[in-house]
């Protein structure tokens, strides 16, 4: 029996493919970036065709890297950037570029709905807040602004989907129009309690029912490959979760209270809260982590829109570094930031503030400020966002967080991780395998295709690489927090 699983991790700036063996070891991998489209200030789009091309390229390269044949694959798992919103025809042709989760074009629409008193109703039904981040307002914009989109949607000619849905549709030759509960819970259209599409929310956002995919569990066979250049027919697509939920799963956070933070383009803190949703009073999101068999696991989530993207901005926007990996060396040229502080509100502020109008801010600059101070302030600003999230999460859940598991590209930055432990006052634990989103997707697919039998196998496979213990004096920590809070008020 084939024992390799192919995991597609479709992210905001590129696509990763990893091929894992039955021991959850990476046998082969590939990566390809794709273009970001910025048609107007605050607008961010992706070409669905370009995303699919990157996936096909990475599948072929990953198989070559693993030195296995496609017939040796037992299953395919998918994890994805979540709220990014696409529309395509039943023949699989996009009718417009996808609107990316970072896009802010619907901010005025969200403000209008809030002024009408709709936010509490939305939060009660979906666990989410009214913010341009989520798919519902993006889909509404597409239906209202793309020529003939609404009429075609009502006629049943179009499909809506987040990126997971698009990839399954393409992998199965258009046979499966599905999503899983973790992705559906990010759309503003799913009832968090019933796990079905909400007629009330569909009416609010003007979404025809025939446009929506079927909601399925996170681990089951959704369909099989069909008509692809990169793979033979018949390989089951058997696992699916949004990238942050997949990372929570890949970090073996299976018990209530276990938490992880992923540092990617943005930063995302999730806590497993068990089999009943916890309604936030602090601006966090109540979301589905995954559904396996008949059991649903919920999470609290805090999202910082900008994390690794701030380092990319230092590289591409300011030209302070040539490669993102150089930021730690530059930041270590100074022992601290002095009075400099950076608020990473380059796409507004997410949880717990939810201020889409906020903008990035450097404060405390004087004639002695160098580019090293700016680099260090950017890293510290990323970590201070996570402090705000964790404090809100502890209030909402009533739980302490004695250790925080971390992953994502920026988790390799030792300076950032030590500062994170210092300001949180809790241990930060980095695993040996930082590609936990791919690990989670592969494991969900392997469970769905019966390659593995239960979660104990992934718990045994998880290994810590380094534990960062807090060591900052209390007075120094308070100084950082005070200047951070002043800067956030001004952003």
User: Tens of pLDDT along the chain (491 residues)?
Assistant: 468 999 999 998 899 999 988 877 888 999 999 999 999 988 999 999 999 999 999 999 999 998 888 888 999 999 999 999 999 999 999 999 999 998 999 999 999 999 999 999 999 999 898 989 899 999 999 999 999 999 999 999 999 999 999 999 999 999 999 999 999 999 999 999 999 999 999 999 999 999 999 999 999 999 999 999 889 999 999 999 999 999 999 999 999 999 999 998 889 999 999 999 998 888 898 999 999 988 999 999 998 888 888 998 989 888 988 888 888 999 999 998 888 999 998 888 877 887 878 898 999 899 999 999 999 999 999 999 999 999 999 999 888 888 999 998 888 899 999 999 999 999 999 998 777 888 899 999 999 888 887 888 778 878 888 999 999 998 988 998 899 999 888 87
What pLDDT sits at residue 357? 83
Give the count of beta carbons closer than 10 Å to the beta carbon of residue 38.
12
CB environment 201-216: b (16+ within 10 A), e (fewer): bbebbebbeebbbebb
Largest CA distance in the chain: 67
pLDDT at residue number 1: 47
Instruction: Please list, in sequence order, all residues whose beta carbon lies within 8 angstroms of the beta carbon of residue 294, skipping any fewer than 6 positions away.
Output: none
Give the pLDDT confidence score for residue 69 in this predicted structure: 87
3-state secondary structure of 211: helix
At 408 the pLDDT is: 85
Would you state the pLDDT for residue 254? 92
Domains of the chain: 4-244 (3.30.420.40)
Distances from the Cα of 448 to the Cα of 50, 246, 290, 454, angstroms: 28, 14, 13, 10
Residue 488's pLDDT is 87
Cα 257 to Cα 134: distance, rounded to the nearest angstrom: 25
Q: In what order do the strands lie in the sheet with 403-407?
A: 285-292, 295-304, 267-274, 259-263, 403-407, 427-431, 464-468
Going from the C-alpha of 54 to that of each of 34, 62, 79, 203, 365, the distances in angstroms are: 7, 12, 15, 35, 42
Concatenating the DSSP letter of every residue in 146-163 gives STTHHHHHHTT-EEEE-H
Beta-carbon contacts of residue 289 (< 8 Å; ≥ 6 apart): 182, 245, 248, 249, 270, 272, 297, 298, 299
Give the pLDDT confidence score for residue 2 in this predicted structure: 61
Q: What is the pTM of this model?
A: 0.88
246: its two tokens: 């997949």
Residues 244-281 pLDDT 10s: 999 999 999 999 999 999 998 889 999 999 999 998 88
Contact between 291 and 180 under an 8 Å Cβ cutoff? The reply is: yes
Residue 29 parent element (H or E): strand 26-33
CB atoms closer than 10 angstroms to residue 67? 10
Cα distance between residue 491 and residue 488, in whole Å: 5
Place of tokens 């239906």: 143
DSSP structure class, residue 72: G
d(C-alpha 163, C-alpha 180), whole Å: 11
């Amino acid at each position: 029996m084939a024992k390799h699983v192919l995991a597609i991790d479709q992210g905001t700036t590129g696509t990763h493919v990893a091929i894992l063996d039955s021991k959850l070891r990476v046998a082969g991998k590939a990566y390809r970036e794709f273009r970001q489209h910025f048609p107007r200030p605050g607008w961010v789009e992706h070409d669905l065709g370009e995303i699919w091309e990157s996936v096909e390229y990475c599948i072929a390269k990953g198989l070559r890297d693993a030195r296995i044949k496609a017939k040796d694959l037992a299953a395919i798992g998918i994890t994805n950037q979540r709220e990014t919103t696409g529309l395509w025809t039943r023949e699989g042709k996009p009718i417009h570029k996808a609107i990316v989760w970072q896009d802010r074009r619907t901010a005025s629409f969200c403000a209008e709905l809030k002024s009408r008193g709709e936010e509490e109703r939305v939060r009660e039904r979906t666990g989410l807040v009214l913010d341009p981040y989520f798919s519902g307002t993006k889909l509404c914009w597409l239906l209202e602004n793309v020529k003939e989109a609404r009429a075609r949607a009502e006629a049943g000619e179009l499909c809506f989907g987040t990126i997971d849905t698009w990839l399954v549709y393409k992998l199965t030759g258009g046979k499966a129009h599905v999503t899983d509960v973790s992705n559906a819970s990010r759309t503003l259209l799913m009832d968090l309690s019933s796990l079905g599409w909400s007629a009330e929310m569909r009416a609010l956002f003007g979404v025809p029912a025939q446009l929506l995919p079927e909601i399925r569990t996170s681990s089951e066979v959704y369909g099989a490959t069909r008509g692809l250049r990169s793979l033979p027919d018949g390989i089951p697509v058997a696992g699916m979760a949004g990238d942050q939920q997949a990372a929570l799963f890949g970090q073996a956070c299976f018990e209530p209270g276990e938490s992880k933070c992923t540092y990617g383009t943005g930063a995302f803190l999730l806590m497993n809260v068990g089999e009943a949703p916890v309604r936030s009073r602090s601006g966090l999101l109540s979301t589905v982590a995954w559904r396996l068999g008949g059991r649903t696991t919920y999470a609290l989530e805090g999202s910082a829109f900008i994390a690794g993207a701030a380092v990319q901005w230092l590289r591409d926007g300011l030209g302070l570094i040539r490669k993102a990996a150089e930021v730690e060396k530059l930041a270590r040229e100074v022992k601290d930031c002095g009075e400099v502080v950076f608020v990473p509100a380059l796409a507004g502020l997410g949880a717990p503030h939810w201020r889409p109008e906020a903008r990035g801010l450097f404060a405390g600059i004087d004639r002695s400020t160098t580019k090293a101070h700016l680099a260090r302030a950017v890293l510290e600003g990323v970590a201070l966002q996570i402090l705000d999230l964790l404090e809100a999460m502890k209030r909402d859940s009533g739980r302490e967080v004695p250790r925080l598991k971390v992953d994502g590209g920026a988790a390799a930055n030792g300076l950032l991780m030590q500062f994170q432990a210092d300001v949180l006052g809790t241990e930060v634990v980095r695993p040996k395998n930082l590609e936990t989103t791919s690990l989670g997707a592969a494991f969900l697919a392997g469970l769905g295709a019966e390659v593995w039998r239960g979660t104990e196998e992934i718990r045994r496979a998880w290994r810590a690489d380094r534990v960062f213990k807090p060591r900052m004096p209390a007075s120094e920590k308070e100084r950082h927090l005070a200047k951070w809070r002043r800067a956030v008020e001004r952003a």
